[in-house]
Structure 1
């Protein structure tokens, strides 16, 4: 059956775009609704229609971009003009539908370019480190065993820390917010320096200079009532019982990992071990009974043996050496 009483359009994406605009802008008659359901019953048509709907809705997110405003307005003006000139949908000439479809597909293309920026991934392996300078002049320093995804757009700079720790030195650009998302949290800045770290059970944001806001990524509501101040660290527990704690930190200690040292001050043993493990393939493992112990000291990154010697000398711990790992357990009297 010919769609809308016209010769079949050569492109399924064009058909999907026209159907979507008809449904959004006008009510379908009973006959048109039946024809649409027949057309939609084809799996490839359904896929094309869902994609057209998604991209048209995505254009709403870019509604302040001049390129999208112009194209959307043109498509709607053409549609309304043709609706008035040919009030019966079934009698509208095929070339007019092709004109509307072409405009709709231009919106899809421009929206994709504006909203879906290429993703650059930067990562390090066990014991590695890396400094990257982005096209906007910002730089990021990656700790060992870390990955960061970067999307630089015309109106936003969106980064995602998937695991590990990274420091971000942000080039000032008030018109393009710089955001770092991790574990459902989001740090927003314009020109500043801060770090974000993901541990197994904790999200950490540390501010070195400037200011940042920390939000819940899903609803963009602030996690804390006011922005962090330089020298402050926000810790957010991950899991069902979310807890936020702000503490003051020594920037030099907080950045010690940049020079190959790990500085711990009253650090939970679990967190200290997780950080040490980023630098060594011989993993440290701790028994649940000693997870609550605290660690103090400065250690060379990757020197697991020195770390084990120190914590077993200063805490009620003993080391059990196995194949490829060292297990820390409570010392027996």
Structure 2
């Protein structure tokens, strides 16, 4: 059997220090430290690796923790010939190192990364796994990844997800109470006031209802006559009920928002206004619920609020008034 390397010895001692050592173990550990001053550094590195805190090794908390631990180890090494060496101090120091590394690693690992855009802004983000996010205006996405899963939350707006294939780590996007799960595909998720829209461009996804407690439920079960959501189609899922609708769409046209253009083909005015507001410097407000279901068709520059207002007021008996920095839409009769 080949001899155990110094790195492996350091890893073994790291684990044993976290437990209980008898007098024989303590003497062996003291002898191992005395063999080579480099063993102190190896032990420090092993502690970081063994406790899974490699990703936070350069954080201020970790640097301080490491400095204190190294100083304790050096002081202990300087006292190694003393018969009255206080091993209780050693055990306490080791326990503190274990706790500090574990808590710092947990605290930082558990905090998701957050990516956002302002009004009229577009952003492309490359994630650590190779996946790519394209964010629409006024959008926020939180990202949390570990060895078993890739979990994202769409908190506002719309984003397109080009997912790097990894069958062992599902890629999920939670938008309010609607969960979209994939392993390697291309799709977008849009969060609106009363619904979530999922467009599939490539691959396969499952869209599920995510209750406050309990497991998620598939919204579109596959059957002999139903293949679920397929590329080139959009799923519209209300957030207050489980009824969904799947419709065909022009895929290139549906991505026009990436270049700052929006296409409306008979969409309700309420939805059109929500999309225009992602880039608007002055928020548009539909002040009369009777306006909400009026349909809008056309192509608009998402930053050109004035052209959009001109279009809808020319098509319908709507008047637009600027009030307190907002553009208020009302029926002309009501305005009079």
TM tier relative to shorter chain: 0.5 to 0.7
Q: Are positions 1:211 and 2:183 aligned together? A: no
Structure 2 match to 1:274:
274
CA contact (8 A) 1:117 1:153 kept: no
* TM-superposed deviation, 1:113: 4.8
Q: Which aligned pairs between 1:162-241 and structure 2 lie closer than 5 A? A: 162-218=155-211, 219-226=215-222, 227-239=228-240, 241=241
CA distance in 2, matches of 1:198, 1:317: 27
The aligned residue for residue 296 of structure 1 is 297
SS in 2 for 1:289: helix
CA deviation digits over 1:131-164, x for unaligned, max 9? 0001111000000111000011111111110111
2:129 alignment partner, SS class: coil
Q: Distance in 2 between matches of 1:185 and 1:211?
A: 16
Say whether residues 1:153 and 2:154 are aligned partners: no
Q: Flag structure 1 segments of 5+ consecutive residues without an equivalent.
A: 1-66, 69-94
> What's the Cα RMSD here?
3.0
With normalisation by structure 2, the TM-score equals 0.64
Contact 1:289 1:329 in 2 (8 A): no
Q: Is the 8 A contact 1:165 1:195 kept in 2?
A: yes
Aligned positions, number: 237
Larger Rg: 2
Q: Which residue of 2 aligns with 1:320?
A: 321
8 Å Cα contact 1:146/1:163 also seen in 2: yes
TM-score normalised by length of structure 1: 0.65
Contact 1:167 1:193 in 2 (8 A): yes
Contact 1:299 1:306 in 2 (8 A): yes
Matched position secondary structure for 1:181? strand
- 1:122, 1:315 → 2: CA distance? 38
Q: Which runs of 5+ in 2 are unaligned?
A: 1-50, 53-87, 223-227
How far did residue 115 of structure 1 move?
11
* 3-state secondary structure, aligned to 2:265: strand
Task: Note if contact 2:116-2:141 (Cα within 8 Å) is conserved in structure 1.
Answer: yes
Helix, strand or coil for the counterpart of 2:218? coil
- Inter-CA distance 296–274: structure 2 relative to 1 (3 Å threshold): same
Question: Is 2:248 the counterpart of 1:248?
Answer: yes
Measure, in 2, the Cα distance between the counterparts of 1:121 and 1:115.
13
